[in-house]
Structure 1
Amino acid sequence: MGMDFTGRVAIVTGAGGGLGKQHALALAARGAKVVVNDLGGARDGSGGSVSAAEAVVQEIRAAGGEAIANGASVTDFAAVQAMARQAMDAWGRVDILVNNAGILRDKSFAKMELADFALVMDVHLMGAVHCCKAVWDIMAAQKYGRIVMTTSSSGLYGNFGQSNYGAAKMALVGLMQTLSIEGAKNDIRVNCLAPTAATRMTEGLMPEEVLRALQPEAVVPAMLVLAAQDAPTRAILCAGAGTFEAAHITLTRGLWLGTGAQVPEGLAGRLGEVRERSGEMVPQSGSAQASNEVTQAMAQAAKTSAAA
C-alpha cells in the first residue's frame, strides 16, 4: 500500500513546531527518513535557532525513526542546496518535499509596508521555489518525486489583512500547475495542501473552542495522501478538523460575442451568461482557454459562411 513510507527520504520545511512538526512525525512514524528543517524564528520571520528542529529530531529518534535537523532559511538558496546535499549524503535520495515553512505579517493593505509584502512573498513563494529547485534534478534522476506545496484559503478565497500572504499562497498554486506538467515524465507529482489548523500562525485569530477542533494532526492525512506513492498530481486538497475538501480552478464555457464596436456593451449586458458555471471545466493546461476561445470563434465563422 502506498501509505508505507519505508525507504523514502522526506524534507519538511518549517518542521520545528505546529503543522510541520506533525508532518515530520507522521512521515517518520510510517518509515520515512526525515530532514527536519526549521529556521527557529518568530512568527514574523525574525530571529532563528535550530533547537526547535533538534527537539523534533530527538522525538523521532526516541520513537525509533531516523531524522536529521537542518536550520536553513528557505530564503537562502545556497543553504537550501546544502540541505538537499545533507539529505543525499545521509541517505542517498530525496523522495518527498513538503514546503511548509511560512511567516505572517498581517495588516490591511492600506497600512502595510512594502517590505512586509516582499518578505512574505520571499519566504512562502521563493522559499518553495528554492526547495523545489534544490531537489528537482535529484527527483528527475531517480524518476520519482512527491512535492507538497502549502497553499491557503486566504490565497484561494481571500482574507482581510492578508494580501501579502494570500498573494504568495495563490502563487504556489500557479507554481504547482506548471511543475506538475513538467514533472510528469519523471513521475514527479506536485500537489497543494490548504490546511486549517490551530498553530502559532493562527494564535489569537480564533476563539478557543474553534482552535480546539482545529488540531494540526487532523490535517496530516491529506499531506500523507499527497506525498504517497499513489498520490494524485495537481490536486488542491483542503483539510481541517477532520473534514477534507478539494478546490479547483475552473473555466466556464463562456460566450462568443465577436469583435465588433458594440461588444463592450454586449459583454456588460451578458456578463451573467459568461460567468454561468454549468458545464464549466478544470483545464489541464493554460492552452485550454485559447482552445475554447478559438473553437467558438471557428464555429461562429462556419455558421456565418453557411448562412451566406
Structure 2
Amino acid sequence: MSIRFDNRVAIVTGAGNGLGRRYALDLAARGAKVVVNDLGGARDGSGSSVTAAQAVVDEIVAAGGEAMASGASVTDADAIFAMVDEVKAKWGRIDILINNAGILRDKTFTKMTLDDFRLVLDVHLMGGVICTKAVWDLMREQAYGRILMTTSSTGLYGNFGQANYGAAKLGLVGLMKTLALEGAKYNVKVNTVAPLAATRMTEDLMPPELLAKMGPETVSPASLYLVSEDAPTNVILNAGGGGFEAAHVTLTKGVHVAADAMTPETVAAKIADIRDRDGEIVPDTGAAQAQAALSGGN
C-alpha cells in the first residue's frame, strides 16, 4: 500500500521549522499542495517573520511541488479565517489540517505567571480550536477532512515544570475525542500525535545523544498516516526514535456498592479494587463511561 496525497490540500501550522517543516516536505513529496503556516516567532512566542515559512515553500517548489506561505498567528482568528479563504480561492478545497504550532514557557507552577499559563493555552489549545473551526464546515461540506492534533507526553503523563503546556496538550486530546464523533458521518477524521522528537522545542530538554536518535523524520510517518485517506479516527499515537505506540484513556472495572455503603470510608477500603486494571476497557464515548458506571461496572 502506497500512501499518496495527490490532489489534496494540506495546511500545516508551525511549519517553518522542526516537525512542521518535516510534515510539509513529506506531504508535498507525496503529492499534496501545502500551506506552510508559521508566525516565525521565537520558542517562547515572541517576534514574527515569514522568512522560515517562505524558506520551506522554496524547498517544496524547488523539488517540483506546490506550496504557499502564511505568517498568520494561530491565535488570530481573523487572520486564520482569511488564510483559509485564500487557500480555498487558490486551490478550491482543504483536505488536511495539522495543528502543530506551539511555544514553551516552562517554569514550576509556583514561579509561573498567569500570563505564561494563558499564552501557552492560547497558542496550543485555542490555536488548535481556531484553525480547526476555520476549516470544519468546509470539510463537512466536501465530505472529506483529516485533522491532526498534537499532544505530548506532558499532556498524557505529566512532566515537571510544564503545567501550562500539559494542560493545553491534554485539552487537545479532549477536543479530538468530541470532534471525532461529530465529524464521523461527514468523513472528517480527527486524530492526535504525541511526538518525541529533537526540535527547537526540545533541544535543551534532553541529552544530545538521545536527541540524535529522535529527528522529526521519526515522527512524520505516524502523522502522515493519521491524515491519510484510510486513517482511523479518535486515535492517539506516540511516535519518535523509531517507536510507535497507541495511548488510551482507560476505565477500570471498579466496584459497585449499595446506597448505604456510599461513604469515603468505603472508597478508602476498596481503593485497590477500584484501581485494579485487570479487565479495564476503553469507552468509545463519555456516555459509554456513564453507562458502565450506572450498570454496576463494565
Structure 1: gaps (5+ residues): 300-308
Which runs of structure 2 are paired with 1:153-168 in the superposition (5 Å)?
153-168=153-168
Distance in 1 (CA, whole Å) between partners of 2:265 and 2:2 is: 54
Q: Distance in 2 between matches of 1:27 and 1:46?
A: 28
* Aligned residue in 1 for 2:281: 281
Could you tell me which residue of structure 1 aligns to residue 7 of structure 2? Answer: 7
Check conservation: 1:251, 1:283, Cα contact below 8 A: yes
Structure 2 counterpart of 1:222, one-letter code: A
Aligned counterparts of 1:3 and 1:258: Cα–Cα separation in 2: 54
Alpha carbons of structure 1 residues 49 and 42: separation in structure 2 relative to 1, 3 Å: same
Query: How many residues were matched structurally?
Result: 298
In structure 2, the residue matched to 1:36 is 36
1:132 is aligned to 2:154: no
Q: Which amino acid aligns with 1:199?
A: T
* Cα deviations by residue, 1:124-183 (Å, 9 ceiling, x for unpaired): 000000000000010000000000000000100000000000000000000000000000
Provide the rounded CA distance (Å) in 2 between the counterparts of 1:231 and 1:186: 14
State how far apart, in whole Å, the 1-side matches of 2:243 and 2:296 are. Answer: 39
Cα distance in structure 2, aligned partners of 1:248 and 1:188: 21
How far did residue 262 of structure 1 move? 5.8
Matched, 1:82 2:82: yes
- Give, in whole Å, the separation in 2 of the partners of 1:115 and 1:93: 37
> 2:48 is aligned with what amino acid?
G
Compare CA radii of gyration and give the structure with the larger one. 1
In 1, distance between residues paired with 2:174 and 2:293?
21
Do the aligned partners of 1:2 and 1:229 also contact (CA within 8 Å) in 2?
A: no
Equivalent position amino acid for 2:260 in 1: G
Judging changes above 3 Å, is the alpha-carbon distance between structure 1 residues 251 and 2 closer, same or farther for their aligned structure 2 residues? farther
| 3-state SS, counterpart of residue 24 of structure 2 | helix
1:98 counterpart residue number = 98
Alignment of 1:1-308 (within 5 A): 1=1, 3-260=3-260, 263-296=263-296
Distance 1:134 1:270 in 2: 47
Cα RMSD, aligned residues only:
1.2
**Distance apart, 1:102 and its partner CA:** 0.2
2:262, 2:174 → 1: CA distance?
A: 34
Cα deviation, residue 261, structure 1: 5.5
Pair 1:177–1:267, CA change in 2 (3 A): same
Name the CA distance, whole Å, in 1 between partners of 2:230 and 2:289. Answer: 29
One-letter amino acid of the counterpart of residue 156, structure 1 = L
TM-score by length of 2: 0.98
Code of the residue aligned with 1:168 in structure 2: it is A
Cα distance, 1:258 vs structure 2: 2.5
Query: How far does residue 259 in structure 1 lie from its aligned partner after superposition?
Result: 2.6
Deviations 1:78-135 (A, max 9, x none): 1010111121011000000000000000000011001000000000000000000000
Unmatched 5+ stretches in structure 2: none
Q: 1:257 touches 1:263 (CA, 8 Å); kept in 2? A: no
* 1:9-28 CA distance string (max 9 Å, x none): 00000000000000000000
- Work out the CA distance in 1 between the residues paired with 2:84 and 2:2: 24
AA aligned to 1:269 is A
Match of 1:302 in 2: none
* 1:290–1:120 CA distance, 2 compared to 1 (3 A): same
Cα distance in 2 for partners of 1:235, 1:261 equals: 38
Letter in structure 1 aligned against 2:37? N
